Chain A
Amino acid sequence: MGPGGPHPELQPGSRGGKAPAAAPESIPPAWLGLSPGGGAGAVPELRTGRDGTGRGGTGRGRGGGAEGERPGGRGTRSAAAESEPSPSRAAAAAMGQIEWAMWANEQALASGLILITGGIVATAAQFAQWYFGVYSIAAGVFVCLLEYPRGKRRKGSTMERCGQKYMTKVVKLFGPLTRNYYVRAFLHLGLSVPAGFLLATILGTACLAIASGIYLLAAIRGEQWTPIEPKPKERPQVGTTIKQPPSNPPPRPPAEARKKLSEEESAAATSVPSGPQENPIPVTDEVV
């Protein structure tokens, strides 16, 4: 970090003969107010015009690094567990708005599958009180069907599950019963209880109960299930961009001029092959 004063990087040839940036567009750079003559470590050769031409910077010496002495610098940083990053590279996804219902949906779907599996094991092996296993299969199938259509996210686009539009129609039919997440939370809680009587299905109970809890959280935060409707395809209407066909004939010179022209043309046609079209009347191009 260079102190103030002469900055070698601003002089041409300082970096082994590279020419400084050819100042491109003279668009006023929207950079942060950086005073000229500062510049810690900027290499002007590749500083392009829009981004501030490489001048300035926090050239008062230590730049932003003096936080240790600044209030609120070190103290607030706790040695807490680090968090891993967001998925996208140069942009962070909208982190603050978590829609719990999306996770509850995944969890409930998984619980449905686990209920079905546990139920099949209990029924096929004829464990004691295996009729609970039969219930578990039925409950699992119901939960899977209910949870298969993914709801629409409030922000951003939602990926549909494969083939979910059929179930979407059915689930939509029940209106508020399926839209409201309180109903779903208590429904799942209720469904999970009978499966808790068998060891084979108790895992399904636990998972569905957790899903129910997450749905409750989603409901408290006011989330709702909205179906993903297919967007009506906008076909570009060819006809609409064409305005009404012209109602007047194209402009022509008056009758005498036309006669003269046709004589000239026939004379010209015999002598010279037609080159580029010579418009008898000058035509202006009115495209923008």
Chain B
Amino acid sequence: MGNWVVNEGLSIFVIAALPLARAPAACLNFNCMLILLPVCRNLLSFLRGSSACCSTRIRRQLDRNLTFHKMVAWMIALHTAIHTIAHLFNVEWCVDARVNNSDSYSIALSKFEDKPGETYLNFAEKKIKNPEGGLLVAVTRLAGITGIVITLCLILIITSSTKTIRRSYFEVFWYTHHLFVIFFIGLAIHGAERIVRGQTAQSLIQHKPEICWKKIDEWGKIKECPIPQFSGNPPMTWKWIVGPMFLYLCERLVRFWRSQQKVVITKVVTHPFKTIELQMKKKGFKMEVGQYIFVKCPMVSRLEWHPFTLTSAPEEDFFSIHIRIVGDWTEGLFNACGCDKKEFQDAWKLPKIAVDGPFGTASEDVFSYEVVMLVGAGIGVTPFASILKSVWYKYCNNATNLRLRKIYFYWLCRDTHAFEWFADLLQLLETQMQERNNADFLSYNIYLTGWDESQASHFAVHHDEEKDVITGLKQKTLYGRPNWDNEFKTIASQHPNTRIGVFLCGPEALAETLSKQCISNSEAGPRGVHFIFNKENF
């Protein structure tokens, strides 16, 4: 503890603790700057859509914005912990020095106060010993108060952001996350009192610590050791965070403005098995395939926004979403749209809707490949509805310009309930393809992964019928999980020397499987078949 590093006043007697607090503080500046940027959804969408900026591969990294946000958050937590622990040591030792419970050098340095001819070094003002002294510093100084408050906010944010809470009780997550406002404000003023002090540059010239530390009693009396002067560093954090805070503020304003635009429900369709389809129109709404929107229905809840994948194609003059009724909000929407009533609903009775978006994800890249594999698991098939429709329109409009030549579509489902509205779409496409003698354009495989014995016997009996008993499609439903290795190898052999895009919307485990398959079935050289994996983030 008696060791010292040259010029920092405090570090003269609190050795490693001050640099150990300063270092994570610097890291925190950087991380707190970064954390706001990945959640500026509109900004990211804009960057992703503007081809001017960078290549597609780089822009695709923007899809992983939430992962980045979480990583930075963990870094903030780690650095906060180190910073706090280091300052615990600082406070303890400073208070000790104030109450003369330390080495003489430290005590001498602590004697300075803010009066004419002097500036203080030790921020512990009152002569109260530890632990009360430390506690007093923490609750009376600005740095202490802001430190405790923002650390508490951080802890609350983290505990409400765990996967369990996020997936099950989203409101808790969302509202608690807004504590970040307090966090950033507290962070900006955390160092405003400038209590971490060091010797001024001017004083360092006159009073050299390496000479004068031995002559404590003669300070101010001999020429070579005048009274040392100290000052605090100006707070730097605000310079780091003010930019991203402004960007985020703009982001929220943009979201709000977009949500104020008028949205009209043009049609509501009820599908079997508790699914409804809303068709809407909004002025100036432009979408790409596979994008999603956030929807708010003030009649149901004034504050809740829920994301839904768009199931219509850009070529249509409306946009639509399919909503499964599973919770309070969707049930409220169901009732508000009058779906529980049998008679015709007047147009003006339909509720007002606010829409934010559309926001883009990986599906937009589907058309840049010649061959694609689309894999949707369960409800994850929804973005592909949009893609298939759009492919259909493009094919009908101008088949020669379409780069896409072949689609392999895999739909994995646990039970038959999920089939209904989408099966209709597939059936339609199947019929249309046949009429145009191009049945090979789309090859689809539906896998029923949750079959049981009674279903199996049913299927076995109807095996020979022309249309599939579950979906009514000509292509038979397959049971169990697909053998991906086989699938990839077959496709690779049928399309040598092509880049094949693989698009998945489904669970993590499947993403890992497919990712590995893509890598192992791609050839090493530039020529040869390459599978490129794209995963939807929801």
Interface of A is mostly: loop
Contact for A287 among B148, B420, B461, CB less than 8 A = B461
In the bound complex, do residue B345 and residue A89 qualify as a contact, i.e. CB atoms below 8 Å apart? no
Q: Which of chain A's residues have a CB closer than 8 A to the CB of B292?
A: 89
Take A48-B421, A76-B298 as given contacts and tell me if A64 and B347 are in contact as well, using a CB distance cutoff of 8 Å: yes
Contact for B382 among A25, A32, A89, CB less than 8 A = A89
In the bound complex, do residue B131 and residue A129 qualify as a contact, i.e. CB atoms below 8 Å apart? yes
With both beta carbons as reference points, the residue of chain B lying nearest to A9 in the complex is identified as B317
**Complex interface bits, A80-93 against B, C-beta within 8 A gives 1, otherwise 0:** 11111111111111
Q: Does B89 sit at the interface, judged by CB under 8 A?
A: yes
- Once the chains are docked, how many angstroms separate the CA of A210 from the CA of B343? 51
Number of interface residues of B (CB under 8 A): 122
With both beta carbons as reference points, the residue of chain A lying nearest to B426 in the complex is identified as A48
Which 3 residue pairs across A and B have the least CB separation, nearest first?
A48-B424, A64-B350, A65-B264
Known: A1-B281, A35-B344. 18 other contacts (CB 8 A): A24-B472, A31-B270, A45-B392, A48-B425, A64-B347, A65-B264, A77-B354, A85-B305, A86-B307, A87-B166, A90-B324, A91-B326, A102-B165, A103-B159, A107-B155, A128-B129, A129-B130, A132-B131
In the bound complex, do residue B170 and residue A87 qualify as a contact, i.e. CB atoms below 8 Å apart? yes
Contact for A206 among B148, B165, B425, B457, CB less than 8 A = B148
- Once the chains are docked, how many angstroms separate the CA of A167 from the CA of B321? 45
Chain B nearest CB from A76 CB (Å) reads 6
- Once the chains are docked, how many angstroms separate the CA of A162 from the CA of B75? 24
Contact for B345 among A33, A73, A79, A93, CB less than 8 A = A33
Q: Which of chain B's residues have a CB closer than 8 A to the CB of A236?
A: 453
Interface stretch of the complex, out of A175-183, A197-205, A219-227, A242-250? A197-205
Q: Does A146 sit at the interface, judged by CB under 8 A?
A: no
In the bound complex, do residue A156 and residue B148 qualify as a contact, i.e. CB atoms below 8 Å apart? no
Take A50-B424, A63-B281 as given contacts and tell me if A58 and B347 are in contact as well, using a CB distance cutoff of 8 Å: yes
In the bound complex, do residue A65 and residue B262 qualify as a contact, i.e. CB atoms below 8 Å apart? yes
Binding site for B on A (CB under 8 A): 1, 15-19, 21-22, 24-25, 30-35, 39-43, 45-46, 48-52, 56-58, 60-68, 70, 72-73, 76-99, 102-103, 106-107, 109-110, 114, 117-118, 121-122, 125, 127-129, 132, 150, 153, 156, 158-159, 197-200, 202-203, 206-207, 210, 236, 241, 287-288
**Complex interface bits, B417-448 against A, C-beta within 8 A gives 1, otherwise 0:** 00011001101100110010000000000000
In the bound complex, do residue A199 and residue B424 qualify as a contact, i.e. CB atoms below 8 Å apart? no
Interface stretch of the complex, out of B54-62, B111-119, B171-179? B171-179
In the bound complex, do residue B347 and residue A199 qualify as a contact, i.e. CB atoms below 8 Å apart? no
Name 26 interchain pairs, CB-CB below 8 A, sorted by A: A18-B396, A33-B343, A33-B344, A40-B318, A41-B266, A41-B316, A45-B392, A62-B347, A67-B352, A79-B256, A82-B296, A85-B170, A86-B306, A87-B167, A88-B538, A89-B292, A92-B330, A94-B168, A95-B169, A103-B160, A106-B165, A110-B158, A117-B85, A125-B92, A199-B137, A206-B148
Q: Which of chain B's residues have a CB closer than 8 A to the CB of A58?
A: 265-267, 345, 347, 350
In the bound complex, do residue A199 and residue B305 qualify as a contact, i.e. CB atoms below 8 Å apart? no
**Complex interface bits, B147-161 against A, C-beta within 8 A gives 1, otherwise 0:** 010011001101110
Binding site for A on B (CB under 8 A): 81, 84-85, 88-89, 91-92, 129-131, 134-135, 137-138, 148, 151-152, 155-156, 158-160, 162-172, 174-175, 177-178, 252, 255-256, 259, 262-272, 277, 279, 281, 292, 294, 296, 298-299, 302-309, 313, 316-318, 321-330, 337-339, 342-354, 356, 379-380, 382, 389, 392-393, 396-397, 420-421, 424-425, 427-428, 431-432, 435, 453, 457-458, 461, 472, 538
Contact for B304 among A73, A83, A150, A202, CB less than 8 A = A83
In the bound complex, do residue B178 and residue A81 qualify as a contact, i.e. CB atoms below 8 Å apart? yes
In the bound complex, do residue A95 and residue B425 qualify as a contact, i.e. CB atoms below 8 Å apart? no
In the bound complex, do residue B329 and residue A92 qualify as a contact, i.e. CB atoms below 8 Å apart? yes
Take A85-B294, A106-B160 as given contacts and tell me if A200 and B166 are in contact as well, using a CB distance cutoff of 8 Å: no
Q: Which of chain B's residues have a CB closer than 8 A to the CB of A77?
A: 298, 302, 352, 354
Centre residue among A65, A98, A128, A199 by max chain B CB count within 10 A:
A199
Contact for B379 among A90, A95, A197, A203, CB less than 8 A = A90
- Once the chains are docked, how many angstroms separate the CA of A63 from the CA of B337? 12
Q: Which of chain A's residues have a CB closer than 8 A to the CB of B342?
A: 33
Q: Which of chain A's residues have a CB closer than 8 A to the CB of B318?
A: 40-42
With both beta carbons as reference points, the residue of chain B lying nearest to A197 in the complex is identified as B131
- Once the chains are docked, how many angstroms separate the CA of A219 from the CA of B336? 34
With both beta carbons as reference points, the residue of chain B lying nearest to A241 in the complex is identified as B453
In the bound complex, do residue A159 and residue B152 qualify as a contact, i.e. CB atoms below 8 Å apart? no
In the bound complex, do residue B168 and residue A156 qualify as a contact, i.e. CB atoms below 8 Å apart? yes
Q: Which of chain B's residues have a CB closer than 8 A to the CB of A153?
A: 168
Q: Which of chain A's residues have a CB closer than 8 A to the CB of B152?
A: 203, 206-207, 210
- Once the chains are docked, how many angstroms separate the CA of A173 from the CA of B292? 49
Chain B nearest CB from A23 CB (Å) reads 10
Chain A nearest CB from B440 CB (Å) reads 19
Take A32-B338, A63-B350 as given contacts and tell me if A107 and B425 are in contact as well, using a CB distance cutoff of 8 Å: no
In the bound complex, do residue A199 and residue B160 qualify as a contact, i.e. CB atoms below 8 Å apart? no
Q: Which of chain B's residues have a CB closer than 8 A to the CB of A61?
A: 347
- Once the chains are docked, how many angstroms separate the CA of A287 from the CA of B171? 52
- Once the chains are docked, how many angstroms separate the CA of A89 from the CA of B506? 11
Chain A nearest CB from B170 CB (Å) reads 5
In the bound complex, do residue B428 and residue A51 qualify as a contact, i.e. CB atoms below 8 Å apart? no
In the bound complex, do residue B389 and residue A40 qualify as a contact, i.e. CB atoms below 8 Å apart? no
Q: Which of chain B's residues have a CB closer than 8 A to the CB of A125?
A: 89, 92
Chain A nearest CB from B304 CB (Å) reads 5
- Once the chains are docked, how many angstroms separate the CA of A125 from the CA of B420? 66
